[in-house]
Structure 1
Amino acid sequence: MELDCGVWLSLGGFHERGRDWPTTQRIYNCHALLDPAGHLVAAYRKTHLCDVELEGRVTMKESSFTNPGTEIVPPVSTPAGKLGLSICYDLRFPEISLALRRAGAEILTYPSAFTVPTGSAHWEVLLRARAIESQCYVVAAAQTGKNHERRTSYGHALVVDPWGAVVAQCREGPGLCYAEIDLDYLHRIRQEIPVHGHRRPGLTSMAGWRRLQGWQRCREPLAGTVKSRAGPRPLCFRPFLPKTQQQDALRAPPSPCAAARRVSPLFFGVPPKPLHCCGGAGAEGRSQALQ
């Protein structure tokens, strides 16, 4: 088809037998991108497998016959723009779309086979969300019709622009829709609302650092605070206990927080310096708690 029509084809998902087929007996769900000469330019293997159970409606266990892919494929340069590849259930994970956006993607593709219950509730809103947060065009081909006695696919293939507007959509049953990809419009939106430059990954890495260090923030009001633009912020953190220790902690008498750490809205990933304890522990106790 690409040779006859001179077009690029985004095709997915194909069931692919990988090199590990003899040992795993599981396939990969593959999204293939072909150029007008029929060459395979890129292949993405679905990284998130759909294991869901909607009581009385839909049960899927993709992991029972599919291996998850292990990597995201860099965006591919095409005449329409830089194309990022995903598949179906990946749509529920914004981390992939944001990673592709950081890598230069201008168009995100999601060939899919949503069920009727999940598609009618989530299909359009998820695609629009991915387009808005990444400021990319989103192109989503969709399987439609009855797969077998226990499953029917939702269909409704559509295209969303970087503003989040649906610019083309198929309705019930098989169909074809067209949309114009306007990269000048895309870059104007990114310039007017530069969310990519406003992201603060240090905030999430700080939370991850605290959790790895075994600390969580106190929830009760505290006397010790630090001033910030957002108003007073409590200084106090207490040890985070694994679930296996939570019952013992509940039976133990309440104790004041062992130590405190600096919290700032401008903090980016550097381990904070200890501040004053909010009461109850001496210097020795604070030193032990911070080790």
Structure 2
Amino acid sequence: MSQPHLELSQVGIEFPTPKGPFCALQNVSLKISKGEFVSLIGHSGCGKSTVLNIVAGLYKATTGGVLLNGKEVNSPGPERAVVFQNHSLLPWLTAYENVELGVKRVFKGKKNKVEMRDWIEHNLELVHMTHAMHKRPDEISGGMKQRVGIARALAMEPQVLLMDEPFGALDALTRAHLQDSLMEIQNALGNTVIMITHDVDEAVLLSDRIVMMTNGPAATVGELLDVKLERPRNRLELADDPQYNHYRSAVLRFLYEKQKKVEPIATKRAEKKMEAEPHHQKSVA
């Protein structure tokens, strides 16, 4: 069996708190193939971003570890580019200059000025932003800013693209356009993508596999779902597709039945029961 492109092996992490160590993740194991699109989904606080930060090399696992092409990941590197929910563009630089920052970092001494310019423009073209490449962030929309952030990440020519709810702050129509663009880009480039999302439809539309996380603390992989829908995918055609809706239902069942937040519900039921009981029924010594 061939070696996986990216492997998380029994990853766990603890954070120090005044009350002692807090276990955020426990025994997270996952093998990801080259060119695979994987989504992480789960309730808030289940450690999705923590997993991403460990793969990015921003956090170091307390137990276990991450291998990329058989080499341990223990620090950030250009072979793993991150796109955050907040575009993180430098406001005093144009779209072109923001992408140029990453290109200079990775390709200094490898590309001349003309090659760098062509490469920057190529990546802006991938995200349909060449028309606004000389505008600063305050002159473009939220969706356009996120396109520039994706172009900057792609321009580093990463083996793995890490996306932390990249479309979470956008309106529905802009989000749909960017999802379509991302599918086009991934089809053209064949990058391995790991994306965090809270959106079930987004996960099913974009993914080859969905990783469903259990609730924290000590969160781990609850279930894995293979999404065997043919590519390219069309959101309108899939809306009535029985297989698409089967996958969608499977994720919803996991989130809202198997991993629902039961503590507050149980507490409320107990309180209502107490309120409904007549005073004479309460136990006496």
Q: TM-score, normalised by structure 1?
A: 0.27
The answer to which structure has the higher helix fraction is 2
The answer to which structure has the higher strand fraction is 1
The higher relative CO (CA closer than 8 Å, separation ≥ 6) is in: 2
Structure with the greater alpha carbon radius of gyration: 1
